Amino acid sequence: MTAADGTLSVAFHLTHNCNLRCVYCYTGAKFASGMTDDVADRGADFALAEARQQGVGHLEIIFFGGEPLMKLDLLCRIADRLHDAAGRLRTSFKMSTNGTLLTARAVEELAKRRVYVSISLDGPPELQAMQRPFAAGHDTTAALAGAIDGAIDRLLRWNPCANAHCVITPSTAGRLDTSVQWIFARGFAYVSTALDYSANWTRANLKELESAYKRLAGWYFDRTLSGEKLYLSCFDDRIHSRTRGPLERSERCHIGHRQFSIAPSGRLYPCVQFVREDEDLSLALGDVFAGFDSQRRATLAACSEQPKPECGGCALADRCSSWCACVNWQSTGRVDRASPLLCEHERLLMPIADRLANRLWKRRNTIFLHKHYNPAYPALSFAERKLHESVE
């Protein structure tokens, strides 16, 4: 892949504030400090200049927080500025939101700018309230459920291919199958899952998660045989690593180079995991006004991309994401050490995903074959869903 085929991914952390207090949030303490117009404008110009300097063909902008919809007007300002100044450089916009502020106006403004929205959902209302209370701290089951119900309906009417993101914690591990099924039942076709790598996981928690994965694999198998097209990252990503091979080195994120974050202050960080309260300057790589600290940037790249000695001889080394510096840092505090939790998780999940793939392969299931052996599947899937909508 040439540089012109590549992507530069830049995350704008619009605010440190959020209206929820999710138990697993890794973005640090919440306080009313946000990005100014001046920093936003300079950050947009900096991202464009960096993309052109690297010679990439695609600039991907991610709006992050805190809760980015608390700064909707600033988000629109950045998107408009980048769109107007990009020229021949292809731009795309993404956003991760807790959904509670996804009002009709927000959807309208995001739709105008083609911002792809991923909404965080942990499962049924009682589970949502347990892990994602409002900042006031009172019982929020009914209020949270109402806000999220409206957000889901508005989001899927606008984009039926929107993604829902489900975080797995030790306290919810044994209910993952019912949580995921609840999300799909709400109308989503794309669901991604991720562990809370900062939590204190026990062997018992992992055994509960393994049982939930096995039940979920049975459900996935039955739904696929029934003709339903769906994407579930915990299975599909691992099946993909088997059918199409591991990610090429050029496809990985390369934190601080092909991927970086801009804090509300304008400081530059390697990835979204590192910003937090924006107080540990040892993690910063410069700022949008003075540019990158080239020495720090080179040192980070050397540390994060070196082989992990603890992965030597592992049969799954080429298929797991032990190369992900963000996961490693969140779990171990170091970018050059593979996460032990990631290792345990992949050894637990990979055989389940492989058995699921083998069962579908033996059935010569057309959806499975199309999804994992046809490179055009994502585009075709989106087109098919839009066509189905227009017919209805």
Q: How far apart are alpha carbons 205 and 178 in whole angstroms? A: 16
Q: How many CB atoms lie within 10 A of CB 62?
A: 21
Tell me how far apart the alpha carbons of residues 162 and 160 are, in angstroms, rounded to a whole number.
6
Residue 33, pLDDT score: 87
Q: What is the pLDDT of residues 186-208, one digit of tens each?
A: 999 999 999 999 899 999 999 99
Strand 291-292: give its sheet, edge to edge: 231-232, 190-195, 163-168, 115-120, 90-97, 58-64, 7-13, 259-262, 267-269, 286-287, 291-292
Q: 156-166: per-residue pLDDT in tens?
A: 999 999 999 99
Q: What is the pTM of this model?
A: 0.90
Q: How far apart (Å, rounded) are the C-alpha atoms in residues 285 and 269? A: 6
pLDDT of residue 139: 55
pLDDT for 388: 43
pLDDT given at position 147 = 84
For the stretch 13-69, pLDDT in tens is 999 999 998 888 888 888 888 999 999 999 999 999 999 999 999 999 999 999 999
Which residues of the chain are modeled with pLDDT < 50?
1, 383-384, 386-392
